[in-house]
Amino acid sequence: MPAPFSVLHQFPLQSLNTFGIAASARAYLRVTEKEQLLGVYADGAWATLPKLVLGGGSNVLLTGDFDGLVLHIALQGREVLEDTQQHYLVRAAAGENWHAFVQWTLAHGVGGLENLSLIPGTVGAAPIQNIGAYGLEIKDVFHSATVFDPCSGETRVMDAAACRFGYRDSVFKREEGRHLIILDVTFALPKQWQPNLRYAELAAEPGLGNAPTPQQVADAVIAIRRRKLPDPAVIGNAGSFFKNPVVSGAQCAALLERFPNLVHHAQPDGSEKLAAGWLIDQCGWKGRSLGAAGVYPKQALVLVNNGGASGADVVALAKAIQADVQARYGVLLEPEPVFI
Ligand code: FAD
Ligand code: EPU
């Protein structure tokens, strides 16, 4: 049954994107019940307008005003669904804050998400780019997602195979899945928990000892992130601005001959993942600015809003960085945030 909804007009978006970019939307709806989506798509006045589904706004770059309807997903709720022999099945609604959800699982004695502590944004956006950090990606603990398909007006459940997860990628970023709205996500978290300390920087964090608890691993991840990454409440940013580029083994070997210190990680298929932050740093961009947009002095992969930056300022800086990295290393850096 469609539920009543009330749309606001000419809505400011500056506080709804972590870059802090000033822009407005023609119309805005805070979605607190999934039945409101049925109402929107059944209503002739709203059904045909372009839509922007927004969670915490921590992985978008607003390049101008949005001439359409923003659907701000605020669905709430979380529960431990089932306790199987191997897993706890834990579900959270799309509008739940990601980090608060991770902390909630830990408070319930359920480990498995701690390596993804302190990532900004919502539960519903986590599968969109298959969020990852410190040796874990969502795909490793994902069970299923309930999605609303505006084309059919129907709701369905998608498993991991249907989501086609890749590095910072999923079906939800591609043509065939971009229209789907995630309503909730279920995770399968291990009953036989083992710390995941594959990421060298995490393993080296003092205070973890030989047998850390999930909360101790979470605290270590939080400490590293606080040291390295800017807090969006203080300085506008969207985390890593570029994906780490994946090149062939042959291209990596050729680069290593010219740049012996090149940071690279072998992938199971023989390709090599390079560190975009290292490439940008080596090009001398760390700490530099172009207009009101800048490169974070402690992490060259993070572009920041030094105050009053527009989407165009950030795009200009990103293009200048891409051009330098391409000229020096022959590698094209692909942006990670979604450009609106
Ligand atoms: P938004 O920015 O609101 O949306 C992102 C995309 O998802 C948009 O295309 C939007 O339309 C779509 N979307 C949002 N919600 C839904 C939904 N319910 N259904 C369908 N589509 C939806 N990412 C990592 O992977 N690893 C990190 O370590 C990491 N660190 C970060 C650190 C900082 C300081 C910041 C600012 C960002 C970081 N990010 C990281 C990026 C970001 O936090 C994640 O991509 C996060 O999942 C985005 O969530 P969000 O709710 O803010 O999404
Ligand atoms: N490096 C430099 N200079 C810099 C930044 C990095 O030389 O200014 C080098 C580092 O010394 C290291 C390598 O680059 O050797 C990788 O750096 P880091 O460990 O900081 O990780 P990253 O590749 O920059 C990725 C993710 C982050 C995630 C961390 C931890 C991407 C695009 N980014 O960053 O995700 O938190 O690893 O797992 O994959 C995000 O997606 O928004 C994000 C923050």
CB 86 within 8 A of CB 59: no
CB 304 within 8 A of CB 207: no
Residues with a CB atom less than 6 Å from ligand 1: 18, 53-60, 73, 94, 119-122, 124-126, 128-129, 131-133, 172, 181-182, 229, 232, 237-239, 338
Question: Average per-residue pLDDT in the chain?
Answer: 96
Portions of the chain given CATH number 3.90.78.10: 236-339
User: Of 168, 159, 147, 149, whose CA–CA distance to 241 is shortest?
Assistant: 168
Residue minimizing CA distance to atom 7 of ligand 1: 125
Tens-digit pLDDT profile for residues 7-16: 999 999 999 9
Give the list of residues 6+ apart from residue 310 with CB closer than 8 angstroms, or none: 21, 22, 292
CB 33 within 8 A of CB 3: yes
On the question of pLDDT at 207 being above 90, the answer is no
Ligand nearest to the CA of 92: 1
pLDDT score, position 66: 98
3-state SS, residue 40: helix
Tens-digit pLDDT profile for residues 152-171: 999 999 999 999 999 999 99
pLDDT score, position 37: 95
Portions of the chain given CATH number 3.30.465.10: 78-228
Architecture of domain 8-73: 2-Layer Sandwich (3.30)
What gap in Å lies between CA 261 and CA 255, rounded to an integer?
10
DSSP 289-317: EETTEEE-TT-TTEEEE-SS--HHHHHHH
pLDDT score, position 217: 98
CATH number given to 78-228: 3.30.465.10
Ligand nearest to the CA of 135: 2
The CATH class of the 236-339 domain is alpha beta
> How far, in Å, is the centroid of ligand 1 from the Cα of 285?
25
Residues with a CB atom less than 6 Å from ligand 2: 133-134, 201, 228, 239-240, 243-244, 263, 275, 277-278, 281, 286, 299-301, 336
First to last CA, the chain: 31
On the question of pLDDT at 339 being above 90, the answer is yes
Instruction: Determine phi and psi for 326, rounding to 5 degrees.
Output: -65, -45
> How far, in Å, is the centroid of ligand 2 from the Cα of 300?
9
Q: What is the average pLDDT across 230-257?
A: 97
Catalytic residue, chosen from 168, 205, 272, 310, is 168
Least confident of 70-74, 121-125, 144-148, 210-214: 210-214
Residue minimizing CA distance to atom 37 of ligand 2: 133
Neighbours of 139 (CB within 10 A): 17
pLDDT score, position 209: 83
Q: And the tokens for 130?
A: 């298959």
Of the pLDDT bands very low, low, confident and very high (cuts 50, 70, 90), residue 210 is confident
Q: What is the average pLDDT across 207-217?
A: 92
Tens-digit pLDDT profile for residues 35-94: 999 999 998 889 999 999 999 999 999 999 999 999 999 999 999 998 888 999 999 999
* Residue 336 a catalytic site member: yes
* Residue 168 a catalytic site member: yes
pLDDT score, position 290: 96
> How far, in Å, is the centroid of ligand 1 from the Cα of 35?
24
Catalytic residue, chosen from 114, 137, 205, 336, is 336
Give the HSE-up count for residue 187: Cα atoms under 13 Å, Cβ half-sphere. 29
Catalytic residue, chosen from 144, 170, 240, 310, is 240
DSSP 194-227: -----SHHHHTSTT--SS--HHHHHHHHHHHHHH
Of the pLDDT bands very low, low, confident and very high (cuts 50, 70, 90), residue 191 is very high
* Residue 156 a catalytic site member: no
Q: And the tokens for 248?
A: 């062939």
CB 61 within 8 A of CB 340: yes
Strands 236-240 and 302-305: antiparallel
Residues in the chain: 340
Strands (DSSP E) found in 74-213: 78-83, 87-93, 132-133, 136-137, 142-149, 154-159, 181-190
Tens-digit pLDDT profile for residues 100-109: 999 999 999 9
Portions of the chain given CATH number 3.30.43.10: 8-73
pLDDT score, position 1: 80
Give the list of residues 6+ apart from residue 159 with CB closer than 8 angstroms, or none: 143, 144
Of the pLDDT bands very low, low, confident and very high (cuts 50, 70, 90), residue 4 is confident
pLDDT score, position 193: 96
pTM (global) more than 0.85: yes
CB 17 within 8 A of CB 309: no
Ligand nearest to the CA of 244: 2
Residue minimizing CA distance to atom 43 of ligand 1: 120
Residue minimizing CA distance to atom 34 of ligand 2: 240
